[in-house]
Amino acid sequence: MNNQGRPTAIPAPTSAAGDTVTGNRGLRIEEPLIFEQDSPGRCGVDLPALPDVGLRLGPVKPRGSIGLPGLSEPQVVRHYTRLSQKNYAIDAGLYPLGSCTMKHNPRLNEKMARLPGFADVHPLQPESTVQGALALMDELAHWLKALTGMPAVTLAPAAGAHGEMAGMMAIRAALEHRGEGARKRVLVPESAHGTNPATAAAIGYSVDPIPATAEGRVDLEALKAKLGPDVAAIMLTNPNTCGLFERDIIAIAEVVHAAGAFFYCDGANFNAIVGRVMPAELGIDAMHINLHKTFSTPHGGGGPGSGPVVFSAALAPFVPVPYVRKDGDRFVLVEREGEGGTAYGRMKAFHGQMGMFVRALSYMLSHGADGLWQASGDAVLNANYLMARLNDVMTAPFEGPCMHECLFDDRFLKGTGVSTLDIAKALIDEGFHPMTMYFPLVVHGALLIEPTETESKDALDQFVTALRALAERAKTGDAAWFQAAPRFTPRRRLDETAAARKPVLRWAPEPERLEAAE
Amino acid sequence: MTVKYTKDHEWVRIEGDVGTVGVTDFAQQQLGDVVFVELPEAGRELTLGGEAAVVESVKAASDVFAPVSGTVTESNGALVEEPSMVNSAAETDGWFFKLTLSSPSELDDLMDADAYKAYVEGLH
C-alpha cells in the first residue's frame, strides 16, 4: 500500500517491498499511476479563464470532461523521471536479447541528428530548401548499395517487417509484370524470423514451411522437393535465427531461380556479416537492412525503426517511390508512379525515418568500411566467446561456431524442475536483462543470447559468471529458489497467464472497476 | 469407442462416424499455460494434416492439424471462454471440435494409446 492508498497494490507474498512506512525502498519510489495522483483543479500553469466562444463542433457534442489528471509541474516531472528510473535500457547495462541487437547508440549520431538542417525539416518543404537532407539520403543509399553490392534501394520502409513487405510487394509486381501472378506459394524455412511467414500471408501468399536439418539450417533436399511452378519466392533469414550462417545459400539461390521464383533474404542479422559478405554475390533479389540494428540507431522503446530494402537488377524497376535522384548538381525526389517506370506505389506517406537516416550514415562514416568490418567481426567473436565459456554448463543444440548470437536449449535443466523462464527471472536479480526465451521454436526451451560488439570482455565475463552460477545452482535441484525469482525488482514474478487471459488495457477509476467486475 | 493419436500430438476419439479432436496431455505440458484457442466453424471441410485450429500459450502459438479428414459439426465454445481447460482437461472437457469422418480408413495410420506413449517417451 503506497501513500495514495493505491488499491491495486500486490499483496505481501508477491511484493518485493520491504517493511517501510511508505512502501519505498531506499530512494526507489513506489510510484502510483498518474491518474491516481489526480488533484482536481491543480494545474502546472495559471491560465486565464477561457472566453466563451461556443462550440464549433457542429452537431457533435462533447459527452463530458476528457478526464485529464490535475498535477503541478514538479509532480509531472518527478512522475516521469521515476518511471524512467525503473526502465532498463542499453544505456544502463548489458541487454543480450537474441535477434534484437541491442547495441550502443553512439552519441555522435545523436549530435548529428539534432543539427537543425536535419531535425527541423518538413517533408512538404520545397526541394530547393532541403538539398542537404536529400544529399544525405542519396549518400546513405549509396552506402547501402555499396555494402550489399545491390543496384537499387528504397529507404522508405519504417522497420524490418515493413521492409519485408516492400520487398515481397516488389517481387509480386515483377511476377505480375511477366504474367506469372498465379504463383501464390512462398517457402519459408523454420529457421527464418517469425515475421517472414507473417509478411507473406499478409500480402496474400500461402506459406509453406521448409524443415530445418539437425544442424539447424535449411534442408536443401526438402526445399527442392517443395519448389514448383506455383512458388513465388523463398524468404530466408541469413544468418538465421539459430545464429547460424546458411552455408548452402548459393545453392539455394540457384535452385530457387531455376524454378522461376525470387529470393527474398531477411537481412535483419546483417550486423553479423556487414563488410564481410556481399549479399549480391549470394544470389539475393531483395533484402531489408535494419538501420536500428546493424547501423546502431536506437530502438526497443528508444526510437523508431528503419528498414531500407536493397534490390537486384531483376527487381530494380519495381522499387517503390519515393527515392532521391541526382539531376546535375541538384537532388530531386522521385515521388510519382510512372516516373520510375513500374514502381508499385509507396510504402509510407512521406520519405522514411529521416532521423534514423542521419544516425545510420553518421555511424557508417565514423566507422568507415574498415570499422564496419571490425564491428561485425567483434559481434561474432563476442557471441562465440559466450558460447565457449558457457558450453560446459549449458547445452547448445547445434555445433558452433555461431554468428552474432549463441543459442542454448533446456537440456541442461532436464529433471531439475527449473525452466528457461526461471533462469531468465533469476538473471534479472543479478542485474542483467534476460536473453530471448523460447525462440526460435525449433529448439526446446531456447535461450538465445546476442551480446553485440558493444560489450567489453570484462562485461562478458561478469555475465558469464552470473549465468554459470545460475546453471550450476539449477543442477543442485534448487527449483523453489528459482521459482521465487525475481526478488529484488519493484514487483515479483508477474502472472503472465492472467495478463494474457484477462488483460486490463485501460485504467479506470475505482467505482468503474468495481462495476466492471460485477 | 477408440482413441487414436498423431505425431503432432492431437487425439481423436471415434464414436460411430463422429470424431472428437483435441490435443494431448503431453502437448499441453509442452505448451505451458494456454491463453487463447481458435476453433473451426461448423461446416468447414478439413483434410488430413491440414490446419484446423490454433492454440496459443504464454510461450508460443501452434497450429492444431486435422488428424483425419471430415466436416466439422461442432466446436467447443466453452474452450474459447476458458482456454485453461486445455491445461486442466486436455483429453476430456478440453476437446476442440467434432467432425464427421469422410475417410475412416485414415485412422489406420494413427497410433493407439500404447504406441503414442512409446513415441512420446522416445522424444526426450
Residues 5-44 of chain B with CB under 8 A from chain A are: 33, 35-36
CB contact under 8 A, A497 and B59: no
Give the global pTM.
0.87
Q: Model confidence over A220-249: pLDDT tens digits? A: 999 999 999 999 999 999 999 899 999 999
Buried b (16+ CB within 10 A) or exposed e, A424-463: bbbbbbbebbbbbbbbbebbbbbbbbbbbbbbeeeebebb
Three-state secondary structure readout of A477-515 = CCHHHHHCCCCCCCECCCCHHHHHHCCCCCCCCHHHHHH
Please check whether residue A201 touches B, CB under 8 A: no
Is the model more confident about A496 or about A289? A289
CB contact under 8 A, B60 and A500: no
Residues A482, A423 contacting (CB under 8 angstroms): yes
Distance CA A439, CA A401 (A): 19
Ordered domains of chain A (ranges, CATH): 108-364 (3.40.640.10), 373-492 (3.90.1150.10)
Binned at pLDDT 50, 70 and 90, residue A53 comes out as confident
Please check whether residue A276 touches B, CB under 8 A: no
Whether the predicted pLDDT of B35 surpasses 50: yes
CB contact under 8 A, A496 and B33: yes
Please, which residues have CB within 8 angstroms of residue A20's CB and are 6 or more apart in sequence? none
Amino acid residing at A205 = Y
Residues A135, A331 contacting (CB under 8 angstroms): yes
Pick the CATH number of B2-103 from 2.30.42.10, 3.10.20.30, 3.30.70.890, 2.40.50.100: 2.40.50.100
Q: Model confidence over B90-109: pLDDT tens digits? A: 999 999 999 999 999 999 99
Chain A residues near residue B59 by CB distance under 8 angstroms? 438
DSSP secondary structure string, A89-158? -TTTS---BTTT------HHHHHHHTSHHHHT--TTS-GGG-HHHHHHHHHHHHHHHHHHT-SEEE---S
Q: Model confidence over A137-167: pLDDT tens digits? A: 999 999 999 999 999 999 999 999 999 999 9
The three-state secondary structure class of A375 is helix
Distance CA A293, CA A271 (A): 7
- Tell me A320's DSSP state: P
Residues B67, B98 contacting (CB under 8 angstroms): no
Please, which residues have CB within 8 angstroms of residue A27's CB and are 6 or more apart in sequence? none
Q: What is the pLDDT of residue A26?
A: 87
Q: What is the mean pLDDT of residues A2-17?
A: 43
Residue B14 Cα, gap to closest chain A Cα (Å): 30
CB contact under 8 A, A438 and B59: yes
Give percent of chain A above pLDDT 90: 74
Q: Model confidence over A435-448: pLDDT tens digits? A: 999 988 889 999 99
The three-state secondary structure class of B38 is strand
Count the residues in chain B. 124
Residues 384-443 of chain A with CB under 8 A from chain B are: 414, 438, 441
Distance CA A162, CA A196 (A): 11
Among candidates B56, B55, B70, which has minimal Cα distance to B18? B70
Binned at pLDDT 50, 70 and 90, residue A83 comes out as very high
Q: What is the mean pLDDT of residues A473-483?
A: 95
Beta bridge partners of A491: A15
Residue B81 Cα, gap to closest chain A Cα (Å): 10
Q: What is the pLDDT of residue A19?
A: 77
Residues B103, B79 contacting (CB under 8 angstroms): no
Could you tell me the three cell numbers for A188?
A: 519459408
CB contact under 8 A, A501 and B83: yes
Chain B residues near residue A496 by CB distance under 8 angstroms? 33, 58
The three-state secondary structure class of A5 is coil
Helix (H) or strand (E) holding B25: helix B25-31
Domain ranges in chain B? 2-103
Arithmetic mean of pLDDT over chain A: 91
Distance CA A352, CA A91 (A): 26
Q: Model confidence over A195-227: pLDDT tens digits? A: 999 999 999 999 999 988 989 999 999 999 999
Cα-only R_g, chain A:
26
Best to test chain A binding among B31, B54, B58, B62 (most A CBs inside 10 Å):
B58
Q: Model confidence over A342-389: pLDDT tens digits? A: 778 899 999 999 999 999 999 999 999 999 999 999 999 999 999 999
Binned at pLDDT 50, 70 and 90, residue A99 comes out as confident
Buried b (16+ CB within 10 A) or exposed e, A48-78: eeeeeeeeeeeeeeeeeeeeebebeeebeee
Q: What is the pLDDT of residue A338?
A: 58
Q: What is the pLDDT of residue B81?
A: 92
Q: What is the pLDDT of residue A507?
A: 83
CB contact under 8 A, A500 and B59: no
Distance CA A470, CA A20 (A): 30
